[in-house]
Amino acid sequence: MDLSFTPAQDAFRSEARAWLSANVPREPLPSFDTAEGFEAHREWERRLADAGWAVVNWPEEYGGRGAGLIEWLIFEEEYWGSGAPGRVNQNGIFLLGPVLLEFGTPEQKARYLPKIARSDEVWCQGWSEPNSGSDLASLTSRATLDGDEWVLSGQKTWCSRGAFADWMFGIFRTEPGSERHRGLSYLLVPLDAPGVTVRPIAQLDGEAGFAEVFLDDVQVPVANTLGGRGEGWKIAMSTTGFERGVVLRSPGRFMATAARLVKLYRSRAAALPASLRDEVSRAVTDTEAYRLHTYWTVSHFLAGGEVGAETSLNKIFWSEMDQRMHRTALSVLGEEAELAGPWTDGFLFSLAGPIYAGTNEIQRNIVAERVLGLPRG
Ligand SMILES: Cc1cc2nc3c(=O)[nH]c(=O)nc-3n(C[C@H](O)[C@H](O)[C@H](O)COP(=O)(O)OP(=O)(O)OC[C@H]3O[C@@H](n4cnc5c(N)ncnc54)[C@H](O)[C@@H]3O)c2cc1C
Protein backbone atom coordinates (compact mmCIF):
# COMPACT_ATOMS: atom_id res chain seq x y z
CA MET A 1 0.00 0.00 0.00
CA ASP A 2 1.43 3.35 -1.08
CA LEU A 3 0.67 5.97 1.54
CA SER A 4 2.14 8.94 -0.30
CA PHE A 5 0.17 11.51 -2.26
CA THR A 6 1.10 12.54 -5.80
CA PRO A 7 2.44 16.08 -6.43
CA ALA A 8 -0.93 16.87 -8.08
CA GLN A 9 -2.78 15.73 -4.96
CA ASP A 10 -0.50 17.82 -2.76
CA ALA A 11 -1.18 20.83 -4.99
CA PHE A 12 -4.91 20.14 -4.78
CA ARG A 13 -4.68 20.10 -0.98
CA SER A 14 -2.78 23.40 -0.95
CA GLU A 15 -5.32 25.03 -3.24
CA ALA A 16 -8.24 23.84 -1.10
CA ARG A 17 -6.52 24.96 2.11
CA ALA A 18 -5.77 28.41 0.70
CA TRP A 19 -9.36 28.94 -0.48
CA LEU A 20 -10.87 27.73 2.79
CA SER A 21 -8.51 29.83 4.86
CA ALA A 22 -9.56 32.94 2.91
CA ASN A 23 -13.28 32.16 2.78
CA VAL A 24 -14.52 30.18 5.80
CA PRO A 25 -16.70 32.53 7.90
CA ARG A 26 -14.81 33.75 10.96
CA GLU A 27 -17.88 33.36 13.17
CA PRO A 28 -19.94 30.15 13.17
CA LEU A 29 -23.17 30.41 11.18
CA PRO A 30 -26.46 30.05 13.09
CA SER A 31 -27.66 26.42 13.31
CA PHE A 32 -28.97 25.10 10.00
CA ASP A 33 -31.95 23.76 11.91
CA THR A 34 -33.35 27.29 12.19
CA ALA A 35 -34.92 29.22 9.30
CA GLU A 36 -32.23 31.90 9.42
CA GLY A 37 -29.36 29.42 9.76
CA PHE A 38 -30.70 27.24 6.96
CA GLU A 39 -30.56 30.15 4.50
CA ALA A 40 -27.14 31.25 5.78
CA HIS A 41 -25.84 27.73 5.12
CA ARG A 42 -27.45 27.74 1.67
CA GLU A 43 -25.57 30.95 0.88
CA TRP A 44 -22.34 29.35 2.08
CA GLU A 45 -23.00 26.36 -0.21
CA ARG A 46 -23.39 28.75 -3.15
CA ARG A 47 -20.04 30.33 -2.38
CA LEU A 48 -18.47 26.88 -2.27
CA ALA A 49 -20.15 25.96 -5.55
CA ASP A 50 -19.13 29.19 -7.31
CA ALA A 51 -15.52 28.44 -6.41
CA GLY A 52 -15.86 24.80 -7.52
CA TRP A 53 -15.56 23.24 -4.06
CA ALA A 54 -19.12 22.04 -3.39
CA VAL A 55 -18.90 18.63 -5.07
CA VAL A 56 -15.26 18.16 -6.06
CA ASN A 57 -15.59 14.60 -7.34
CA TRP A 58 -18.66 15.19 -9.55
CA PRO A 59 -18.23 15.73 -13.30
CA GLU A 60 -17.67 19.35 -14.31
CA GLU A 61 -20.91 19.51 -16.30
CA TYR A 62 -22.86 19.04 -13.06
CA GLY A 63 -20.91 21.53 -10.97
CA GLY A 64 -17.95 19.45 -9.85
CA ARG A 65 -14.23 19.42 -10.71
CA GLY A 66 -14.09 15.88 -12.02
CA ALA A 67 -11.66 15.05 -9.21
CA GLY A 68 -11.21 11.52 -7.88
CA LEU A 69 -12.30 9.99 -4.59
CA ILE A 70 -8.81 10.39 -3.08
CA GLU A 71 -9.01 14.13 -3.81
CA TRP A 72 -12.46 14.15 -2.21
CA LEU A 73 -11.00 12.62 0.95
CA ILE A 74 -8.23 15.24 0.90
CA PHE A 75 -10.80 18.00 0.48
CA GLU A 76 -12.83 16.64 3.38
CA GLU A 77 -9.75 16.73 5.64
CA GLU A 78 -9.10 20.32 4.70
CA TYR A 79 -12.77 21.28 4.93
CA TRP A 80 -13.37 20.01 8.46
CA GLY A 81 -9.90 21.02 9.60
CA SER A 82 -10.66 24.62 8.59
CA GLY A 83 -13.74 24.78 10.83
CA ALA A 84 -16.06 25.32 7.83
CA PRO A 85 -19.86 25.11 8.32
CA GLY A 86 -21.77 21.81 8.26
CA ARG A 87 -23.21 20.81 4.88
CA VAL A 88 -26.89 21.73 4.87
CA ASN A 89 -27.48 19.76 1.67
CA GLN A 90 -25.63 16.63 2.70
CA ASN A 91 -28.65 14.49 1.81
CA GLY A 92 -28.61 15.84 -1.72
CA ILE A 93 -24.83 15.89 -2.14
CA PHE A 94 -23.83 12.65 -0.45
CA LEU A 95 -26.94 10.45 -0.58
CA LEU A 96 -28.98 11.39 -3.66
CA GLY A 97 -26.21 12.74 -5.91
CA PRO A 98 -24.23 9.49 -6.21
CA VAL A 99 -27.45 7.55 -6.92
CA LEU A 100 -28.47 10.05 -9.61
CA LEU A 101 -25.02 9.79 -11.16
CA GLU A 102 -25.30 6.01 -11.28
CA PHE A 103 -28.95 5.44 -12.13
CA GLY A 104 -30.39 8.77 -13.33
CA THR A 105 -31.41 9.37 -16.94
CA PRO A 106 -29.43 12.09 -18.80
CA GLU A 107 -32.46 14.38 -18.34
CA GLN A 108 -32.63 13.72 -14.58
CA LYS A 109 -28.90 14.33 -14.16
CA ALA A 110 -29.08 17.61 -16.08
CA ARG A 111 -32.22 18.70 -14.20
CA TYR A 112 -31.22 17.89 -10.62
CA LEU A 113 -27.45 17.64 -10.15
CA PRO A 114 -26.45 21.28 -10.84
CA LYS A 115 -29.16 22.52 -8.47
CA ILE A 116 -27.95 20.13 -5.79
CA ALA A 117 -24.37 21.29 -6.33
CA ARG A 118 -25.39 24.94 -5.71
CA SER A 119 -27.96 24.02 -3.04
CA ASP A 120 -30.56 25.90 -5.04
CA GLU A 121 -32.54 22.80 -4.14
CA VAL A 122 -31.91 21.29 -0.71
CA TRP A 123 -33.07 17.71 -0.25
CA CYS A 124 -34.31 15.56 2.59
CA GLN A 125 -34.51 11.78 2.76
CA GLY A 126 -37.98 10.24 3.07
CA TRP A 127 -37.32 6.63 3.94
CA SER A 128 -38.39 6.10 7.59
CA GLU A 129 -42.06 5.90 8.51
CA PRO A 130 -43.70 5.82 11.94
CA ASN A 131 -43.78 2.00 11.87
CA SER A 132 -40.86 1.34 9.55
CA GLY A 133 -37.37 2.27 10.70
CA SER A 134 -34.91 -0.60 10.92
CA ASP A 135 -37.42 -2.77 9.10
CA LEU A 136 -37.66 -0.37 6.17
CA ALA A 137 -39.12 -2.98 3.83
CA SER A 138 -42.34 -2.89 5.87
CA LEU A 139 -43.06 0.68 4.68
CA THR A 140 -46.64 1.44 3.63
CA SER A 141 -46.52 4.86 1.88
CA ARG A 142 -47.75 4.17 -1.61
CA ALA A 143 -47.89 5.65 -5.08
CA THR A 144 -50.65 4.76 -7.54
CA LEU A 145 -50.31 5.34 -11.25
CA ASP A 146 -52.76 7.74 -12.87
CA GLY A 147 -51.79 8.43 -16.48
CA ASP A 148 -48.39 10.16 -16.44
CA GLU A 149 -48.59 10.86 -12.72
CA TRP A 150 -47.94 8.99 -9.51
CA VAL A 151 -50.46 9.78 -6.79
CA LEU A 152 -48.71 9.54 -3.43
CA SER A 153 -50.21 8.94 -0.01
CA GLY A 154 -48.70 8.12 3.33
CA GLN A 155 -46.36 9.54 5.95
CA LYS A 156 -42.61 9.84 6.24
CA THR A 157 -40.80 10.79 9.42
CA TRP A 158 -37.43 11.79 10.89
CA CYS A 159 -36.58 13.66 7.68
CA SER A 160 -33.40 15.55 8.61
CA ARG A 161 -33.46 19.16 7.31
CA GLY A 162 -37.03 18.37 6.17
CA ALA A 163 -38.43 21.43 7.95
CA PHE A 164 -36.83 23.80 5.42
CA ALA A 165 -35.88 21.52 2.51
CA ASP A 166 -37.19 21.98 -1.03
CA TRP A 167 -37.36 18.36 -2.20
CA MET A 168 -37.56 14.85 -0.76
CA PHE A 169 -36.30 11.57 -2.22
CA GLY A 170 -38.38 8.70 -0.92
CA ILE A 171 -39.29 5.08 -1.32
CA PHE A 172 -42.91 4.21 -2.05
CA ARG A 173 -44.87 1.03 -2.66
CA THR A 174 -45.92 1.28 -6.32
CA GLU A 175 -46.90 -2.28 -7.15
CA PRO A 176 -50.25 -3.27 -5.65
CA GLY A 177 -50.13 -6.56 -3.76
CA SER A 178 -46.33 -6.52 -3.53
CA GLU A 179 -44.59 -7.30 -0.26
CA ARG A 180 -41.42 -6.36 1.56
CA HIS A 181 -38.61 -5.11 -0.65
CA ARG A 182 -40.35 -6.02 -3.92
CA GLY A 183 -42.62 -3.52 -5.63
CA LEU A 184 -41.07 -0.33 -4.26
CA SER A 185 -40.02 2.66 -6.35
CA TYR A 186 -37.62 5.53 -5.68
CA LEU A 187 -39.42 8.82 -6.27
CA LEU A 188 -38.37 12.48 -6.26
CA VAL A 189 -41.00 14.69 -4.60
CA PRO A 190 -41.16 18.52 -4.57
CA LEU A 191 -42.19 19.56 -1.07
CA ASP A 192 -44.23 22.49 -2.38
CA ALA A 193 -46.58 20.19 -4.34
CA PRO A 194 -50.29 20.40 -3.40
CA GLY A 195 -51.15 17.74 -0.79
CA VAL A 196 -47.73 17.82 0.94
CA THR A 197 -47.76 18.86 4.61
CA VAL A 198 -44.40 19.32 6.27
CA ARG A 199 -44.63 19.31 10.06
CA PRO A 200 -41.38 20.13 11.88
CA ILE A 201 -40.66 17.88 14.86
CA ALA A 202 -40.15 20.05 17.93
CA GLN A 203 -36.84 19.32 19.66
CA LEU A 204 -36.01 20.01 23.30
CA ASP A 205 -33.55 22.70 22.20
CA GLY A 206 -36.27 24.47 20.21
CA GLU A 207 -34.73 23.76 16.81
CA ALA A 208 -36.35 21.90 13.94
CA GLY A 209 -33.78 19.34 12.85
CA PHE A 210 -36.41 16.88 11.59
CA ALA A 211 -39.82 16.92 9.99
CA GLU A 212 -42.68 14.58 9.39
CA VAL A 213 -43.94 14.73 5.82
CA PHE A 214 -47.60 13.88 5.15
CA LEU A 215 -48.65 13.05 1.59
CA ASP A 216 -52.33 13.32 0.68
CA ASP A 217 -52.94 12.47 -2.99
CA VAL A 218 -49.79 14.27 -4.09
CA GLN A 219 -49.30 14.19 -7.85
CA VAL A 220 -45.75 13.61 -9.06
CA PRO A 221 -44.78 13.03 -12.73
CA VAL A 222 -43.73 9.48 -13.60
CA ALA A 223 -40.54 11.12 -14.92
CA ASN A 224 -39.59 11.66 -11.25
CA THR A 225 -38.96 7.90 -10.83
CA LEU A 226 -35.27 7.24 -10.28
CA GLY A 227 -34.26 3.87 -11.75
CA GLY A 228 -36.89 1.48 -12.99
CA ARG A 229 -40.40 1.16 -11.66
CA GLY A 230 -40.41 -1.38 -8.81
CA GLU A 231 -36.61 -1.13 -8.57
CA GLY A 232 -36.63 1.18 -5.55
CA TRP A 233 -35.06 -1.24 -3.10
CA LYS A 234 -32.19 -2.06 -5.41
CA ILE A 235 -31.55 1.62 -6.09
CA ALA A 236 -31.73 2.52 -2.41
CA MET A 237 -29.48 -0.29 -1.25
CA SER A 238 -26.96 -0.09 -4.09
CA THR A 239 -24.98 2.64 -2.46
CA THR A 240 -25.76 2.29 1.23
CA GLY A 241 -22.76 0.06 1.89
CA PHE A 242 -20.32 2.49 0.34
CA GLU A 243 -22.07 5.42 2.03
CA ARG A 244 -21.94 3.84 5.47
CA GLY A 245 -18.31 3.02 4.94
CA VAL A 246 -16.98 6.14 3.28
CA VAL A 247 -19.19 8.91 1.97
CA LEU A 248 -21.50 9.72 4.87
CA ARG A 249 -18.79 10.36 7.44
CA SER A 250 -15.35 10.91 6.00
CA PRO A 251 -12.28 10.73 8.26
CA GLY A 252 -11.66 14.47 7.98
CA ARG A 253 -14.60 15.21 10.23
CA PHE A 254 -13.28 13.03 13.07
CA MET A 255 -9.68 14.14 12.59
CA ALA A 256 -10.88 17.71 13.16
CA THR A 257 -12.65 16.63 16.36
CA ALA A 258 -9.51 14.84 17.59
CA ALA A 259 -7.37 17.92 16.81
CA ARG A 260 -9.76 20.16 18.78
CA LEU A 261 -9.69 17.66 21.64
CA VAL A 262 -5.89 17.72 21.75
CA LYS A 263 -5.97 21.53 21.81
CA LEU A 264 -8.53 21.54 24.61
CA TYR A 265 -6.56 19.00 26.61
CA ARG A 266 -3.28 20.90 26.20
CA SER A 267 -4.91 24.09 27.43
CA ARG A 268 -5.71 22.38 30.76
CA ALA A 269 -3.32 19.43 30.98
CA ALA A 270 -1.60 20.50 34.20
CA ALA A 271 -4.81 20.17 36.20
CA LEU A 272 -5.98 16.90 34.65
CA PRO A 273 -5.41 13.24 35.64
CA ALA A 274 -3.01 11.19 33.49
CA SER A 275 -5.82 8.80 32.51
CA LEU A 276 -7.32 11.55 30.36
CA ARG A 277 -4.08 11.84 28.43
CA ASP A 278 -4.49 8.18 27.44
CA GLU A 279 -8.04 8.85 26.24
CA VAL A 280 -6.90 11.84 24.20
CA SER A 281 -4.08 9.75 22.69
CA ARG A 282 -6.62 7.09 21.81
CA ALA A 283 -8.71 9.69 19.97
CA VAL A 284 -5.70 10.53 17.80
CA THR A 285 -4.76 6.92 17.07
CA ASP A 286 -8.39 5.89 16.44
CA THR A 287 -8.99 8.68 13.96
CA GLU A 288 -5.70 7.96 12.20
CA ALA A 289 -6.63 4.27 11.98
CA TYR A 290 -10.01 5.20 10.52
CA ARG A 291 -8.30 7.52 8.04
CA LEU A 292 -5.87 4.86 6.84
CA HIS A 293 -8.60 2.27 6.64
CA THR A 294 -10.73 4.62 4.55
CA TYR A 295 -7.87 5.34 2.15
CA TRP A 296 -7.41 1.58 1.85
CA THR A 297 -11.13 1.06 1.16
CA VAL A 298 -11.17 3.76 -1.51
CA SER A 299 -7.95 2.48 -3.13
CA HIS A 300 -9.39 -1.03 -3.15
CA PHE A 301 -12.61 0.27 -4.72
CA LEU A 302 -10.74 2.30 -7.35
CA ALA A 303 -8.72 -0.79 -8.24
CA GLY A 304 -12.00 -2.53 -9.10
CA GLY A 305 -12.46 -4.33 -5.78
CA GLU A 306 -15.83 -4.88 -4.17
CA VAL A 307 -16.90 -2.84 -1.18
CA GLY A 308 -19.70 -4.66 0.56
CA ALA A 309 -21.18 -5.57 3.91
CA GLU A 310 -17.90 -5.08 5.77
CA THR A 311 -18.49 -1.32 5.56
CA SER A 312 -21.03 -1.85 8.37
CA LEU A 313 -17.95 -2.25 10.60
CA ASN A 314 -16.86 1.27 9.66
CA LYS A 315 -20.22 2.70 10.67
CA ILE A 316 -20.00 1.03 14.07
CA PHE A 317 -16.39 2.19 14.44
CA TRP A 318 -16.89 5.89 13.59
CA SER A 319 -20.09 6.28 15.57
CA GLU A 320 -18.59 4.76 18.73
CA MET A 321 -15.32 6.66 18.25
CA ASP A 322 -17.22 9.94 17.94
CA GLN A 323 -19.06 9.31 21.22
CA ARG A 324 -15.81 8.40 23.00
CA MET A 325 -14.06 11.57 21.84
CA HIS A 326 -16.93 13.77 22.98
CA ARG A 327 -17.15 12.00 26.35
CA THR A 328 -13.42 12.62 26.83
CA ALA A 329 -13.90 16.30 25.98
CA LEU A 330 -16.66 16.59 28.58
CA SER A 331 -14.35 14.99 31.17
CA VAL A 332 -11.65 17.51 30.26
CA LEU A 333 -14.17 20.34 30.64
CA GLY A 334 -15.28 19.07 34.05
CA GLU A 335 -17.99 21.23 35.57
CA GLU A 336 -18.00 23.47 32.48
CA ALA A 337 -19.53 20.56 30.56
CA GLU A 338 -22.79 21.41 32.31
CA LEU A 339 -22.97 24.57 30.18
CA ALA A 340 -24.16 24.64 26.57
CA GLY A 341 -21.36 24.92 24.06
CA PRO A 342 -19.86 23.26 20.97
CA TRP A 343 -18.68 20.19 22.88
CA THR A 344 -22.03 19.58 24.57
CA ASP A 345 -23.80 20.08 21.22
CA GLY A 346 -21.37 17.68 19.60
CA PHE A 347 -21.82 15.16 22.39
CA LEU A 348 -25.60 15.20 22.05
CA PHE A 349 -25.33 14.72 18.30
CA SER A 350 -22.80 11.91 18.74
CA LEU A 351 -25.47 10.00 20.68
CA ALA A 352 -27.48 9.81 17.45
CA GLY A 353 -24.57 8.27 15.50
CA PRO A 354 -25.44 4.67 16.47
CA ILE A 355 -29.04 5.26 15.28
CA TYR A 356 -29.04 7.06 11.92
CA ALA A 357 -27.88 5.42 8.68
CA GLY A 358 -29.08 2.10 10.09
CA THR A 359 -28.71 1.40 13.81
CA ASN A 360 -25.54 -0.22 15.10
CA GLU A 361 -27.57 -3.26 16.20
CA ILE A 362 -28.62 -3.73 12.57
CA GLN A 363 -25.01 -3.19 11.42
CA ARG A 364 -23.91 -5.90 13.85
CA ASN A 365 -26.57 -8.22 12.41
CA ILE A 366 -25.20 -7.49 8.91
CA VAL A 367 -21.64 -8.17 10.02
CA ALA A 368 -22.69 -11.41 11.75
CA GLU A 369 -24.65 -12.73 8.79
CA ARG A 370 -22.89 -11.37 5.72
CA VAL A 371 -19.28 -10.92 6.83
CA LEU A 372 -18.89 -13.72 9.38
CA GLY A 373 -21.45 -16.05 7.81
CA LEU A 374 -23.15 -16.81 11.13
CA PRO A 375 -26.67 -18.27 11.04
CA ARG A 376 -29.60 -15.82 11.23
CA GLY A 377 -30.79 -15.34 14.80
C1 LIG B 1 -30.12 12.03 13.82
C2 LIG B 1 -31.03 11.19 12.99
C3 LIG B 1 -31.30 11.55 11.68
C4 LIG B 1 -32.19 10.79 10.91
N5 LIG B 1 -32.48 11.23 9.64
C6 LIG B 1 -33.33 10.52 8.88
C7 LIG B 1 -33.68 11.00 7.58
O8 LIG B 1 -33.22 12.05 7.14
N9 LIG B 1 -34.56 10.28 6.84
C10 LIG B 1 -35.09 9.11 7.30
O11 LIG B 1 -35.84 8.48 6.55
N12 LIG B 1 -34.81 8.64 8.55
C13 LIG B 1 -33.94 9.33 9.35
N14 LIG B 1 -33.65 8.89 10.62
C15 LIG B 1 -34.35 7.73 11.14
C16 LIG B 1 -33.47 6.51 11.26
O17 LIG B 1 -33.19 5.98 9.98
C18 LIG B 1 -34.20 5.50 12.15
O19 LIG B 1 -34.28 6.07 13.45
C20 LIG B 1 -33.48 4.18 12.22
O21 LIG B 1 -33.54 3.51 11.00
C22 LIG B 1 -34.10 3.28 13.31
O23 LIG B 1 -35.47 3.16 13.14
P24 LIG B 1 -36.48 3.45 14.35
O25 LIG B 1 -36.12 4.75 14.96
O26 LIG B 1 -37.85 3.25 13.84
O27 LIG B 1 -36.14 2.35 15.44
P28 LIG B 1 -36.60 0.79 15.44
O29 LIG B 1 -36.38 0.21 14.08
O30 LIG B 1 -37.98 0.77 16.01
O31 LIG B 1 -35.57 0.19 16.44
C32 LIG B 1 -35.67 0.37 17.86
C33 LIG B 1 -34.50 -0.39 18.50
O34 LIG B 1 -34.60 -1.79 18.19
C35 LIG B 1 -33.42 -2.24 17.56
N36 LIG B 1 -33.74 -3.24 16.55
C37 LIG B 1 -34.71 -3.16 15.60
N38 LIG B 1 -34.68 -4.26 14.82
C39 LIG B 1 -33.68 -5.04 15.27
C40 LIG B 1 -33.15 -6.31 14.88
N41 LIG B 1 -33.65 -6.97 13.83
N42 LIG B 1 -32.10 -6.81 15.57
C43 LIG B 1 -31.56 -6.12 16.63
N44 LIG B 1 -32.02 -4.94 17.06
C45 LIG B 1 -33.07 -4.40 16.39
C46 LIG B 1 -32.81 -1.01 16.92
O47 LIG B 1 -31.41 -1.16 16.73
C48 LIG B 1 -33.14 0.08 17.94
O49 LIG B 1 -32.19 0.06 18.99
C50 LIG B 1 -32.79 9.63 11.44
C51 LIG B 1 -32.50 9.25 12.76
C52 LIG B 1 -31.65 10.02 13.53
C53 LIG B 1 -31.38 9.59 14.95
Which pLDDT does position 315 carry in this prediction? Answer: 92
Main-chain phi, psi angles of 129, to 5 degrees? -130, 165
Atom of ligand 1 nearest to the CA of 365: 42
Average pLDDT, integer, range 196-212: 94
Average pLDDT, integer, range 188-196: 98
Q: Which tops the pLDDT comparison, 311 or 89?
A: 89
Which pLDDT does position 239 carry in this prediction? Answer: 65
Which pLDDT does position 245 carry in this prediction? Answer: 67
pLDDT category of residue 242 using cuts at 50, 70 and 90: low
Average pLDDT, integer, range 337-365: 95
Q: What is the mean pLDDT of the chain?
A: 95
Which pLDDT does position 26 carry in this prediction? Answer: 96
Q: Inform me whether the pLDDT recorded for 309 exceeds 90.
A: no
Would the CB of 159 count as within 6 Å of ligand 1?
yes
Tell me the percentage of the chain whose pLDDT exceeds 70. 97
Atom of ligand 1 nearest to the CA of 358: 21
Mutate to test the pocket of ligand 1, among 156, 158, 203 (most ligand atoms within 8 A of CB): 158
Residue range 50-73, pLDDT digits in tens: 999 999 999 999 999 999 999 999
Which pLDDT does position 243 carry in this prediction? Answer: 65
Which pLDDT does position 376 carry in this prediction? Answer: 86
Which pLDDT does position 133 carry in this prediction? Answer: 96
Which pLDDT does position 306 carry in this prediction? Answer: 83
Instruction: Please give the C-alpha separations between residue 97 and each of 55, 120, 295, in angstroms, as whole numbers.
Output: 9, 14, 21
Please give the model's pTM, rounded to 2 decimal places.
0.96
Ligand 1 centroid, distance to 142 Cα (angstroms) = 21
Which pLDDT does position 246 carry in this prediction? Answer: 80
Contact 165, 210 (CB under 8 A): no
Ligand 1 centroid, distance to 301 Cα (angstroms) = 28
Which pLDDT does position 195 carry in this prediction? Answer: 98
The Cα 161–Cα 159 span in angstroms is 6
Q: Inform me whether the pLDDT recorded for 238 exceeds 80.
A: no
Atom of ligand 1 nearest to the CA of 360: 47
- Residues acting as catalytic residues: 243
The Cα 11–Cα 5 span in angstroms is 10
Strands 184-190 and 167-173, bridge-based pairing:
antiparallel
pLDDT category of residue 366 using cuts at 50, 70 and 90: very high
Residue range 108-160, pLDDT digits in tens: 999 999 999 999 999 999 999 999 999 999 999 999 999 999 999 999 999 99
CB-based burial label for 368 (10 Å; 0-12, 13-18, 19+): middle
Would the CB of 132 count as within 6 Å of ligand 1?
no
The Cα 171–Cα 139 span in angstroms is 8
Going by C-alpha positions, the residue among 102, 94, 184 that lies closest to residue 138 is 184
Which pLDDT does position 338 carry in this prediction? Answer: 94
